[in-house]
Amino acid sequence: MGEDRGALAFRAVPNLKTSHFAHPDSTSHEPLWWRAQSTGRVCLNSGSGRASIANFASLSLAEKREHSEYEPTSAQLLKHPLAIVAYVPRDAALFLAGAVAGAAAKTVTAPLDRIKLLMQTHGVRAGQQTAKKAIGFIEAITLIGKEEGLKGYWKGNLPQVIRIIPYSAVQLFAYEFYKKLFKGKDCELSVIGRLAAGACAGMTSTFITYPLDVLRLRLAVEPGYRSMSQVALNMLKEEGVASFYNGLGPSLIGIAPYIAVNFCVFDLVKKALPEDFQTRTEASLLTALVSAGIATLTCYPLDTVRRQMQMRGTPYKTVLDAFPGIIERDGVVGLYRGFLPNALKNLPNSSIRLTTFDTVKRLIAASEKEFQRIVEENRQKQHSDASN
């Protein structure tokens, strides 16, 4: 029996990059991550008794050293306030940016969202069996103003704002997590991988925050309720816990392609732009408008189905019941009721969110660069003082 032989395998490490900043204890501009390379020749013995000679190279990395002694002073931070942002954990900064951007976007576009919901659900609202099948955009605006006044356009916005804070955060972090999960062996993310990451992120955030979405809808379109807690207690008493997840199926089915298309198109279009243009705010705005427009046009019918299934007294139990039921009552156009205000709402909404994320990422990178620049200046000054 032949003797077992060891095998030497070489494997590429993609996307391996070193820092652009100098090591604190180095007099030269070495990177923070040390690099030690050696080359030589190795003799490989095969089972047949033959020996072959091959060149080899090795790369070793050493852990970066702390440089707290060179950190910026209070005076330096006051002079260069951008460096202060470097003290905020990256995840916390992105979470806060997502929360603020989401809340602001929802509040600005709340009137259009209320109009859209009224147009989507008018024909099946409880206790209004004699109501006309559909109302138009202008009719919806007039109806809300006449019955509820100016504040009626923002009715149901509070639960939406409360919902969007965890929704945006979960969606962002989930998207980053799933992108890492769906990377191929070469550590590159394919188009299919981006779509899958977006779909999973959308479903994860929707499932976690879905009850708040149902409460927001009930408060927005059903008369008699004044607070979110009143709606929740009434639903628990009359319909049970399951009512908080009515329409979850079409919601997951609808949000998966929407977020997948939206995020994927945004990433790919942004990546295809010239490098100098990618960092500009107008590039993010334009890219977000394109991605949101494509996603909204593709996935809107599922949103209409979801809204009508969330209503109390809805005749639809499944998505398969809802689609033919809506088409029979209102025609194919019924699937796109409220599309105009929804498009007007989603385009700026998506643009604000995605542009804010891009801006914050650039701000974080700039703050880290500024922080490291001050650290390097302090290091050089201390070494210079010590040598003198």
The values of phi and psi at residue 284, to 5°, are -65, -45
pLDDT on residue 204: 92
Domain segments of the chain as ranges: 1-65, 83-371
Q: How far apart are CA 292 and CA 280, in angstroms?
A: 19
pLDDT on residue 3: 44
pLDDT on residue 42: 46
Neighbours of 79 (CB within 10 A): 11
CB-facing half-sphere around the CA of 180: CA atoms within 13 A: 5
The whole model's pTM is what?
A: 0.57
pLDDT on residue 199: 92
pLDDT on residue 36: 41
Q: Which numeric CATH code is attached to 83-371? A: 1.50.40.10
Angle (deg, nearest 10), helices 110-121 and 191-221: 80
User: How many residues are present in the chain?
Assistant: 388
pLDDT on residue 246: 83
Query: How would you class 162 by CB atoms within 10 Å of its CB: exposed for 0-12, middle for 13-18, buried for 19 or more?
Result: middle
**Interval 184-219: pLDDT, tens:** 777 788 889 999 999 999 999 888 888 888 887 787
pLDDT on residue 386: 76
Mean pLDDT over each residue of the chain, to the nearest integer: 75
pLDDT on residue 61: 46
Non-local (6+) Cβ contacts of 223 within 8 A are none
The alpha carbon torsion through 197, 203, 205, 206 (nearest 10 deg) reads: 160
SS3 3: coil
**Interval 106-129: pLDDT, tens:** 888 888 888 877 777 765 554 455
Q: How far apart are CA 23 and CA 70, in angstroms?
A: 11
